Amino acid sequence: MTFVGQSTAAASEQDTGRATARDVVAAYVGLTKPRVIELLLLTTVPVMFFAARGIPPLGLVVATVVGGTFSAGSASVFNCVYDRDIDEQMRRTRRRALPRHIVSPGAALVFGFVLGILSTVILAVWVNPLSAVLSVAANAFYVFGYTMLLKRRTTQNIVWGGLAGCFPALIGWTAVTGRLSWVPIVLFAVVFFWTPPHTWALALRYREDYAGVDVPMLPVVKPAREVGRQIVVYSWVMVAISLLLWPVAGTGLVYPVVAVVLGAVFLVEAHRMWGRARSTEDLSRIQPMRLFHSSNLYLSLLFVAVALDPLLSR
């Protein structure tokens, strides 16, 4: 597949001409997938608080957030350019900028490269070289590993492709300490095992979309009951690993208490969805989006606890 097609670019130029400046700005912002960036930053900043055992320097936080935002945005832009053919056919993605021809693929590519370069410079100069290298590695893996290699070829696409989304925990830690340790690796693993239940729940909701464009997400090739079973397995491993942070990092009681409560709630929801999936293939009864939204809340509150633990356990 080529990144830029002449016919698509021509159509883009025509439609861009009809779009208002506000439409174009909104389109460029949309290419960066702001909601994904929010989630990634949510696993970066709390780790910085934990690494600092308190409140990290404001300037360092700002530089890390800005650099991380540009890096994640760059990867998302490249993903949108490469996947624009299937995005045009899927209900969930057909309103993105490239399928609507508000931004041309060529312009999007330039935008992606600019964001990537800015992010690397910001992290290397105002944070540290290790954080910059980790950011580039995450970006490259998401684009080349997940988007171009795994997504359209294997049911394990999101399992291994999800590694890119785990790097913010490492970047947040190295931004403060300048080195890696077992603490951020544990949090890296939490996000790794959280990603399949989170993504498979969404993919189950939109499995017809993925099937229509031949993307072999697990819910496309396996029945809902098998998807539910695997979600439960990953969820148990995720919760178990989340509790490892207590002995590994020597946290106070705030974190383990929150982790136990959140983990119990998440496991109940995962088992309930699996139970519904064992009796029907009807998505309206399986209600996979309940687990999807629960997963967002779980990760958000867990990392809030990571940030608050050193502040409340003094």
pLDDT given for residue 15 in this prediction: 47
Q: Do 150 and 248 belong together in one domain?
A: no
Listed residue (266, 303, 294) closest to 42, CA to CA: 303
Q: State which of 177, 212, 230 marks the end of a domain.
A: 177
Number of structural domains the chain divides into:
2
Whole-angstrom distance, CA of residue 216 vs CA of residue 156: 9
Whole-angstrom distance, CA of residue 135 vs CA of residue 132: 5
pLDDT given for residue 169 in this prediction: 97
Note whether residue 127 is domain-resident. yes
> Alpha-carbon torsion 115, 151, 44, 178, what sign?
negative
Task: State yes or no: pLDDT of 36 exceeds 80.
Answer: yes
The model's pTM is 0.91
pLDDT tens sequence across 43-72: 999 999 999 999 999 999 999 999 999 999
Task: State yes or no: pLDDT of 183 exceeds 50.
Answer: yes
Note whether residue 3 is domain-resident. no
Q: State which of 112, 144, 177 marks the end of a domain.
A: 177
For residue 211, give its domain range: 181-314
pLDDT given for residue 12 in this prediction: 42
Whole-angstrom distance, CA of residue 211 vs CA of residue 292: 20
51 Cβ contact list (under 8 Å, min separation 6): 172, 173, 175, 176, 177, 183, 184
User: Torsion over CA of 156, 36, 16 and 94, rounded to 10 degrees?
Assistant: 50
Whole-angstrom distance, CA of residue 137 vs CA of residue 312: 34
Q: Do 171 and 217 belong together in one domain?
A: no
**11: confidence class by pLDDT, cuts 50, 70, 90:** very low
Note whether residue 5 is domain-resident. no
**95: confidence class by pLDDT, cuts 50, 70, 90:** confident
pLDDT tens sequence across 221-268: 999 999 999 999 999 999 999 999 999 999 999 999 999 999 999 999
pLDDT given for residue 5 in this prediction: 39
Q: Do 82 and 25 belong together in one domain?
A: yes
Q: Do 79 and 196 belong together in one domain?
A: no
Whole-angstrom distance, CA of residue 211 vs CA of residue 146: 18
Return the structure tokens found at 297. 């809340």
pLDDT given for residue 142 in this prediction: 96
**92: confidence class by pLDDT, cuts 50, 70, 90:** confident
**42: confidence class by pLDDT, cuts 50, 70, 90:** very high
At residue 20, what are phi and psi to the nearest 5 degrees? -80, 165
Tell me the pLDDT of the chain averaged across its residues. Answer: 92
Q: State which of 130, 150, 177 marks the end of a domain.
A: 177
Q: Do 50 and 94 belong together in one domain?
A: yes
Q: Do 160 and 204 belong together in one domain?
A: no
CATH number assigned to the domain comprising residue 62: 1.10.357.140
pLDDT tens sequence across 106-124: 999 999 999 999 999 999 9
Q: Do 225 and 293 belong together in one domain?
A: yes
Q: Do 79 and 221 belong together in one domain?
A: no
Q: Do 71 and 158 belong together in one domain?
A: yes
pLDDT given for residue 313 in this prediction: 81
**269: confidence class by pLDDT, cuts 50, 70, 90:** very high
CATH number assigned to the domain comprising residue 258: 1.20.120
**18: confidence class by pLDDT, cuts 50, 70, 90:** low
pLDDT given for residue 3 in this prediction: 39
Q: Do 132 and 248 belong together in one domain?
A: no
DSSP state of 153: T
